């Protein structure tokens, strides 16, 4: 993708893939101790007796790693600013999973009168090493229109 994307650079069906990122057990435990202290996230041994049958990452950890991959792969000018999102976690993330993100632009709306930002909707699917979705997110982003003094397409 281009260096900096303005609203005019986005189109429906536009698709981007991220790099791959591996999630490890220690990270899963550290994140969960801080933000989601439930035994199936913080205690790999006890987690065997949980609904998940083993140690799993917090869905919020998956969401946070997804944001990292989104920031790296979708360089919106002025930053990725989420207005609202929908998230589903169809299956758990386990230690050693290799996560990657596929993002597809689903809609682009022009700025309202008086605003320099329009909206874009992005469907962001986080996949594991078996190409199974572990998180499906639809995010509405506030995206800047290209300033009048920056003509032409993306650099």
Task: Pick between residue 36 and residue 102 the one whose CB is nearest to a second copy.
Answer: 36
- Residues with Cβ < 8 Å from 17, sequence gap 6 or more? 73, 100, 101, 102, 103
- Residues with Cβ < 8 Å from 87, sequence gap 6 or more? 59, 63, 135, 136, 137
Least Å distance, CB 36 to a second copy, is 5
* DSSP SS3 for 71: helix
Least Å distance, CB 126 to a second copy, is 13
Structural contact between residues 102 and 48, judged by C-beta atoms closer than 8 angstroms: no
* DSSP SS3 for 64: helix
In the complex, which residues of this chain contact a second copy (CB under 8 A)?
A: 31, 34-40, 50-51, 58-60, 63-65, 67-68, 71, 78-89
Task: Pick between residue 87 and residue 104 the one whose CB is nearest to a second copy.
Answer: 87
Least Å distance, CB 110 to a second copy, is 18
Least Å distance, CB 42 to a second copy, is 11
CA distance 148 to 15: 27
DSSP bridge partners of 82? 141
Instruction: Please compute, for residue 142, the number of CA atoms within 13 A of its CA located in the half-sphere on the CB side.
Output: 10
Task: Pick between residue 16 and residue 139 the one whose CB is nearest to a second copy.
Answer: 139
Task: Pick between residue 51 and residue 153 the one whose CB is nearest to a second copy.
Answer: 51
Least Å distance, CB 155 to a second copy, is 19
Task: Pick between residue 127 and residue 142 the one whose CB is nearest to a second copy.
Answer: 142
């Amino acid at each position: 993708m281009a260096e900096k994307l303005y609203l005019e650079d986005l189109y429906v069906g536009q698709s981007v893939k991220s790099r791959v990122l591996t999630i490890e057990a220690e990270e899963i435990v550290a994140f969960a101790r801080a933000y989601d202290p439930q035994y199936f996230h913080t205690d790999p041994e006890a987690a065997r007796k949980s609904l998940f049958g083993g140690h799993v990452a917090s869905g919020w950890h998956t969401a946070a790693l997804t944001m990292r991959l989104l920031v790296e792969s979708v360089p919106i000018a002025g930053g990725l600013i989420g207005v609202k999102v929908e998230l589903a976690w169809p299956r758990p993330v386990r230690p050693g999973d290799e996560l990657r993100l596929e993002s597809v632009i689903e809609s682009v709306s022009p700025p309202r009168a008086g605003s320099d930002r329009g909206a874009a909707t992005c469907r962001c699917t986080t996949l594991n090493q078996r190409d199974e979705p572990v998180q499906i997110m639809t995010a509405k982003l506030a995206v800047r229109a290209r300033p009048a003094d920056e003509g032409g397409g993306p650099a």
